[in-house]
Amino acid sequence: MVFIIRIFEAPAIDPVMSEAAEPVTKRVKREQTSAAKPEAASSSTSAAELVTSAELTEPQTNDQKEEFFDLSKAKRFTVRKWKGNILLDIREFYEKDGEMKPGKKGISLTLDQYKALRDLVTSGSIDAIVKKQGGDLE
């Protein structure tokens, strides 16, 4: 929901200035609660949408011959080549006309970025922080 608020700027301290202050229009975005916005609640991943570890071992192939793993019903991990570089892509997908299409929400990691993330995961550093914050990884 967007509200438009008219704000008047304070007049300058210049004693010669005789004009009144000009109004300035600014847009203010107000957050809505999840009850007022039901589609926000549906975007979270439920236990039924998660993919089991056994399903993650074998990659699938899309129409562009890129290999991917389904992380949930609407999220994929894809290994792709773009402009000669290998990218590791974690992205939300949506269904349109019976096809899964990539959405805007996601991130593509270069090999160096992926290696840094992989090192953090394998060292247990990320798991330690998740557990410290009360997350259950079992």
pLDDT digits (tens, 9 = 90+) for 89-106: 999 999 999 888 999 999
Q: What per-residue confidence (pLDDT) applies to 8?
A: 47
Residue 129 tokens, joined: 């922080």
Q: What per-residue confidence (pLDDT) applies to 111?
A: 96
Task: Tell me if 95 sits within 8 A of 102, measured CB to CB.
Answer: no
Q: What per-residue confidence (pLDDT) applies to 34?
A: 43
Q: Is the pLDDT of residue 77 over 70?
A: yes
Instruction: Estimate to the nearest angstrom the gap between the alpha carbon of 136 and the chain centroid.
Output: 22
Report the mean per-residue pLDDT for the chain: 76
For range 108-125, the mean pLDDT? 95
**Between residues 97 and 1, which one has the greater pLDDT?**
97
Residue 47 CB contacts under 8 Å (≥ 6 apart), including other chains: none
For range 47-70, the mean pLDDT? 78
For range 113-122, the mean pLDDT? 95
Q: What per-residue confidence (pLDDT) applies to 63?
A: 87
Q: Which is it for strands 75-82 and 67-70: parallel, antiparallel or unpaired?
A: antiparallel
